[in-house]
Amino acid sequence: MRVCPQCGRKWVEGEAFCPFDGARLRDVAAAPTLPDDPLVNRTIDGRYLLERVLGKGGMGTVYAALQTALDKRVAVKVLRPVQDDDGQAMGRFEREARSASRLGNDHIIDVFDFGKTTDGMAFLVMEMLVGEDLGDLLERHGSLPVERAMPIVLQCCEALGTAHAAGIVHRDLKPENVYLVERDGRRDFVKGVDFGLAKIHDVEQTGEGERKLTKTGMIFGTPHYMSPEQCMGKPTDHRSDIYSLGVILYELLGGEVPFDGETFMGVLNQHMVDPPPPIRELNPHAQVPLAVEAVVYRCLDKRAGNRPQSMGELADELLAALRESGYGQLARVLQASLGPIPPPSAAMALTKRKPSVRPPPKADAFAATEPVREAIDPAQVAAAQAAQAQRTPTPQPRTPTPQPRTPTPQPRTPTPQPRTPTPQPRAPRVDETERVPHARRRTRSGASSAPRSPAAWFLYGLLLLLLGGAIGYGALVFLG
């Protein structure tokens, strides 16, 4: 029994956070239940006798019932009355019936009737499943080996590929919605359940109904498995289911979900921002081939355009990773048992996607009844594990290497020195009486003068003669 610490609502199973306010539920001792459910041993719609309670969830209660006209065992899901709901729960209930009934795939639970009782309770009639959900299997084993996890995920690819081809996105993938039954001597036959939050892309969907089914204050989906675009409230397409299936595969191989936290919003923020931690970091004992781990991280890419663009493409990448890791015989058996995976509806994609490659169809998809583990070649697995061990370096303890301490250079400030003029040698004084007769005389400009030549004297005389003649001529002109 789990109880919400904020609103006080109680939940029997299958929920980690309260769908109404997002608070993490706390485990408490189960309170004594009423001796009988009021609907047990009651016949609804005159056709279905409710025998016992199979489980309870956020939307309603599932009963084991008997279809009296055909004496057939069925499961009946009765909608839990919700006050102040404005018909939204009824809309999701009808959508679950419509989306699941139109698919017709062996890996999706068959819904074949829907109606209301005379007192107004809505009910949904489904096939009776005998087995356990994947969440119970993980709780018991912690994690699964590659040989068991891969067949489960590939069957999920086939079921979801059929839904995407019909224009339906599940939007609430989690281990509790993957049911495992035994069929034709083969264990772990997958049945996808709970399409109550499915998004239907169809020309009949006007968009008004989709908006009416979104109520302020209600939180839909399980935060540990929601895609980043779903966490941000953006429009989603089939690649949101690919992200959620990648989280499930991560948990199958490592035993832990990649993102966890104490609050609803804390988990959503990790999906939007943080990269997924390596599987071996959360579980050092996990034996995961590197090629398979790479496909898991590709599914968990924050950008939808970088993920596998269809369930068929994801199945092809997983089979190729198995062959590369030495599981060739397992890949051949799974390829033979895998049915055709159609491409997603063209009207559903929000962005351009790469074309998907369909695996070849097989007439009898589940004819092989031998256990998958027997189809593995031990020699190939051992060789692959040895090669992986050589490629994976052994982690060494990180010892900090001491670094020599380099002194920080200090700026060099020159010490001011007193400026002492350098004495210049002075020429000795020469007395005028001691002058040499023919010594050069110093001029004011510092240049020395030499004795003039006869040609110079001739020029001086000629100039004086010309000057005298000019003066005489001027005097004659003035007096005359």
Q: Which residues are catalytic?
A: 172
Q: Do residues 292 and 318 touch, judged by C-beta distance below 8 A?
A: yes
Encoded tokens for 24: 């993490």
- Output Rg (C-alpha) for the chain, integer angstroms: 47
Q: Which residue has the tokens 């953006």?
A: 234
List Cα–Cα distances, 426 to 209, 330, 420, 443, in angstroms: 112, 109, 18, 19
Q: What's the CA gap between 124 and 115, in Å, rounded? A: 7
Encoded tokens for 147: 């040989």
Q: Do residues 107 and 190 touch, judged by C-beta distance below 8 A?
A: yes
Q: Do residues 231 and 160 touch, judged by C-beta distance below 8 A?
A: no
Encoded tokens for 418: 């007193």
> Vertex 375, ends 372 and 379: CA angle to 5°?
130
Q: What's the CA gap between 144 and 137, in Å, rounded? A: 9
> Vertex 194, ends 108 and 348: CA angle to 5°?
75
Q: What's the CA gap between 420 and 196, in Å, rounded? A: 99
